[in-house]
Amino acid sequence: METMKEYIEEAEKALLHTYNRYQVVLDKGDGVYLYDVEGKKYLDFCAGIAVFALGYNNQKYNNALKAQIDKLIHTSNYYYNVPAIEAAKKIKKASGMDRVFFTNSGAEAVEGAIKAARKYAYLKDGSTDHEIIAMEHSFHGRTMGALSVTGNPKYREAFQPMIGNIRFARMNDFESVLANVTDKTCAILFETVQGEGGIYPAQESFLKQVKALCEERDILLILDEIQCGMGRTGSMFAWQKYGIKPDIMTTAKALGCGVPVGAFLMTEKVGQNSLTSGDHGTTYGGNPLAGAAINIVLDLFEENHIIDNVNEVGAYLKEKLDELVTEYDCIEERRGLGLMQGLVFKKPVGEIITKALDKGLILINAGTNIIRFVPPLIIEKKHVDEMLSILKTCLDE
Ligand SMILES: *Cc1c(COP(=O)(O)O)cnc(C)c1O
């Protein structure tokens, strides 16, 4: 067997250097723990970036995928397949949305949402210069359309020109949204809880004001639930807490718990008045394996009362992180909902995260100064305690 160092050297010779990876080669997982190729154990508070909600090596999940692999993996969207039909019914029920299109990733779900919004507006007035309002600090993915609505100039700069007619407002600043609305606005797009941009939840009043504005002007509200959805904040989708409903919603990450799937969903009104035959497609999206993954994930969410667990352990995590804020001068504040939390430091957190990794704790950042906590949703209070004791050791050093 090669050593970890040898694997990393090989990787750096062959892979395009687009990530500054931590110096670990992960090999297997079990529950909330990961193991590297040399057998070292890590408590995982990253979950593959808010993906592996059900924990690693879940036998029911694994068996459902194995059964589907032995049966049929792919057919193309020229034909129907049962797993995708079942998955569509279940995701409709979980979200209360009416129509779904399955994609392979989050970015593709955002692309589809943008196309649906533009087509909806096009069918109304036949013009092709509609505008979308997105938010500063947002993150929607790395493809050109998703990048165009991502409110981080650093990610966009070298790849200009972006797709046109995008304006940026500020999250939780309704006046800044109003200032950007024109006769051409076809959609307002944001994450219900901003993830990569620093764990900023949308305030209820902001959501309600934007929703009312959208209804008044027939603008589509698009909520990106790729990171904050699928139970992470203590409801299946974060917007469900606030008594509002988007016209279009995106989901991915935990939707397949590791099998690369995403989706954009819409109301019947948008479904009947936007994308139609020939307007959009994908080779893999919604294939039988992807469908099987979504089905077993949604089944296990119910069977294992995942959302109850998020509410219970999320409240505990929040309380404990709030204690850290009072205990440590270097910490400014805590932000977040449920099991999507951020600790804002007064300095860069890179060193703390590297130290934690060394001590067997996987953490990630969200921006330079923020540690992001997005553990598997099956996490227990004792794991929170374990995480805190390692984190405190790192902070005390
Ligand atoms: C991760 C993420 C995306 C992009 O998803 P990919 O699967 O990486 O393309 C889009 N929006 C949000 C909010 C995300 O967190």
Q: What is the 3-state secondary structure (H, E, C) of the chain?
A: CCCHHHHHHHHHHHCCCCCCCCCCCEEEEEECEEEECCCCEEEECCHHHHCCCCCECCHHHHHHHHHHHHHCCCCCCCCCCHHHHHHHHHHHHHHCCCEEEEECCHHHHHHHHHHHHHHHHHHHHCCCCCEEEEECCCCCCCCHHHHHCCCCHHHHHHHCCCCCCEEEECCCCHHHHHCCCCCCEEEEEEECEECCCCCEECCHHHHHHHHHHHHHHCCEEEEECCCCCCCCCCCCCHHHHCCCCCCEEEECHHHCCCCCCEEEEECHHHHHCCCCCCCCCCCCCCCHHHHHHHHHHHHHHHHCCHHHHHHHHHHHHHHHHHHHHHHCCCEEEEEEECCEEEEEECCCCHHHHHHHHHCCEECEECCCCEEEECCCCCCCHHHHHHHHHHHHHHHHC
Atom of ligand 1 nearest to the CA of 108: 9
CATH architecture of 4-54+305-396: Alpha-Beta Complex (3.90)
105 Cβ below 6 A of ligand 1 = yes
| Centre of ligand 1 from the C-alpha of residue 294, in Å | 17
The protein residue with its alpha carbon nearest to ligand 1, atom 5, reads: 106
Q: What pLDDT score does 2 carry?
A: 82
**Which residue ranges in the chain fall short of pLDDT 70?**
1
Q: What pLDDT score does 1 carry?
A: 67
Atom of ligand 1 nearest to the CA of 260: 7
pLDDT per residue as tens digits for the range 101-130: 999 999 999 999 999 999 999 999 999 999
By most ligand atoms within 8 Å of CB, the mutation choice from 140, 147, 152, 192 for ligand 1 is 140
pTM, full prediction: 0.98
pLDDT per residue as tens digits for the range 58-75: 999 999 999 999 999 999
Please state which CATH class domain 60-303 belongs to. Answer: alpha beta
131 Cβ below 6 A of ligand 1 = no
| Centre of ligand 1 from the C-alpha of residue 372, in Å | 15
Atom of ligand 1 nearest to the CA of 105: 7
By most ligand atoms within 8 Å of CB, the mutation choice from 19, 230, 253, 340 for ligand 1 is 253
Q: What pLDDT score does 267 carry?
A: 98
The protein residue with its alpha carbon nearest to ligand 1, atom 11, reads: 140
Q: Sketch the domain layout of the chain as residue ranges.
A: 4-54+305-396, 60-303
The protein residue with its alpha carbon nearest to ligand 1, atom 15, reads: 227
34 Cβ below 6 A of ligand 1 = no
